[in-house]
Amino acid sequence: MNKLNLLDFNIDKLEKKIFLKKKFIYNQIIYWIYKKFCFDFKYMTNISIDTRNILSKMFKIILPKVINFKKSIDGSIKWWLNTNNNIIEIIYIPSFSRSTLCISTQVGCSMKCKFCATGKNGFKRNLSVGEIIGQILFVSYFLYKNKMKCITNIVIMGMGEPLLNFYNVVNSIKIMLDKRFFGFSKRKIVLSTSGIVPFIYKLYNYIDIVLVISLHSSNNNLRSKIMPVNRKYDIISLLRAAFFYVKNTKASKNRINIEYLMLNNINDSIDNAYELLDLLKNFPSKVNLIPFNYIGDVCFTKSSEEKMFSFLNILNKNGIFTSIRKNRGLDINASCGQLSGVLN
């Protein structure tokens, strides 16, 4: 019998699978795994031998396997992980005030955004709950063993479009928020989407975390060229959905968080800045400008600092709080848009 990954099972699924009726036993298992980093049932000594035997026959606790890793000069770490014979990438980004883990939700991506390495290799499959949670558990254990600063923030911005793996991502986030597991604050978990409008409307029924919109354009014509998703869900429909989400949840503080990748001579002109202002006039927003990071075999280049600051100043002076994201892990191809799922 093939053993199942226990990390895929919440208490309801576990009860149905093995008739584990006593909730305290489930809580004991969780404690051993998530607090003690114990991944073998035989060492969970406050659980009866009979229960441990049942668990051992039916389940394994499966963490992703490390294929390779690189450490950046800025302290960021990128891992290539093998999960069920597929490669995913995750990034640990430490700073003075926090330590952020960027996780993946799919093997590859079907969005085909022109500026992103992930989509260039196509879509293979969704990650399971256990495979998503396993990324956090693996890094948490690594940091614990090496006496490094523990994870304070999770950004769901790695490989894949999270909302196209909706239920596995939502159930994973519930585990991230639950104090028995990781206990992250809802404002410390950020989900970035290219704009799957129906699932944005659906999201607020399930979780309350920070939502970020990957916009990257000030008009539909341009966005449709660089982000094919816009041909189905245009900018206004996307902004309306995002505004609906932030108005009905609390983590995003009633404003839409927008990522805007700065592409030289594509979307970074003064006209683009004023066009973006006009788009956002009815939507309380915060904009994060992102320098383009080289991914090879594309025609895009990075906007100059002068252009970026001109763009920033126009937005800030007109009431849109705007900042420029600092690149991290650039020397190991770990920055925004660079995760390919290919060893390099």
Of the listed 109, 113, 116, 336, which one is catalytic?
Answer: 336
Place of tokens 């963490």: 63
What is residue 297's predicted lDDT score, i.e. its pLDDT? 75
- Model confidence pLDDT, tens digit, residues 129-180: 999 999 999 999 999 999 999 999 999 999 999 999 999 999 999 999 999 9
Residues 6 or more apart whose CB falls under 8 angstroms from that of 198 comprise: none
- Residue 340's closest CA among 163, 43, 107? 107
For 150-164, 198-212, 238-252, 293-307, which range has the lowest pLDDT when averaged over its residues? 293-307
What is residue 223's predicted lDDT score, i.e. its pLDDT? 98
What is residue 38's predicted lDDT score, i.e. its pLDDT? 98
Contact call for residues 105 and 132 (beta carbons, < 8 A): yes
Residue type, 329: G
**Structure tokens given for 139:** 């890094």
What is residue 206's predicted lDDT score, i.e. its pLDDT? 97
Q: Is the pLDDT of residue 16 over 80?
A: no
Residue type, 269: S
Q: pTM of the entire structure?
A: 0.96
Q: Is the pLDDT of residue 1 over 80?
A: no
Of the listed 15, 89, 113, 131, which one is catalytic?
Answer: 89
Q: List Cα–Cα distances, 100 to 37, 190, 212, in angstroms.
A: 20, 10, 16
For the range 92-100, what are the long-range contacts, defined as Cβ-Cβ under 8 Å and sequence gap of 24 or more? Answer: 92/139, 92/143, 92/151, 93/328, 93/329, 94/148, 94/149, 98/152, 98/153, 99/143, 99/148, 99/149, 99/150, 99/151, 99/152, 99/153, 100/151, 100/152, 100/153, 100/154, 100/155
Q: Is the pLDDT of residue 22 over 90?
A: no
139: left (phi over 0), alpha (psi -120 to 50) or beta: alpha
What angle is formed at CA 24 by the lines to CA 22 and CA 27, rounded to 5 degrees? 125
What is residue 21's predicted lDDT score, i.e. its pLDDT? 60
- Model confidence pLDDT, tens digit, residues 170-185: 999 999 999 999 999 9
For the range 94-97, what are the long-range contacts, defined as Cβ-Cβ under 8 Å and sequence gap of 24 or more? Answer: 94/148, 94/149
Query: Is 305 tagged catalytic?
Result: no
- Average pLDDT value for the chain: 94
What angle is formed at CA 259 by the lines to CA 253 and CA 264, rounded to 5 degrees? 155
- Model confidence pLDDT, tens digit, residues 187-200: 999 999 999 999 99
Percent of the chain at pLDDT exceeding 70 = 97
Query: Is 113 tagged catalytic?
Result: no
Sign, Cα dihedral of 127, 128, 133, 137: negative
Contact call for residues 154 and 83 (beta carbons, < 8 A): no
What angle is formed at CA 67 by the lines to CA 64 and CA 71, rounded to 5 degrees? 105
Kindly state the average pLDDT of the residues 205-227. 98
Kindly state the average pLDDT of the residues 85-102. 96
For 187-191, 268-272, 296-300, 322-326, which range has the lowest pLDDT when averaged over its residues? 296-300
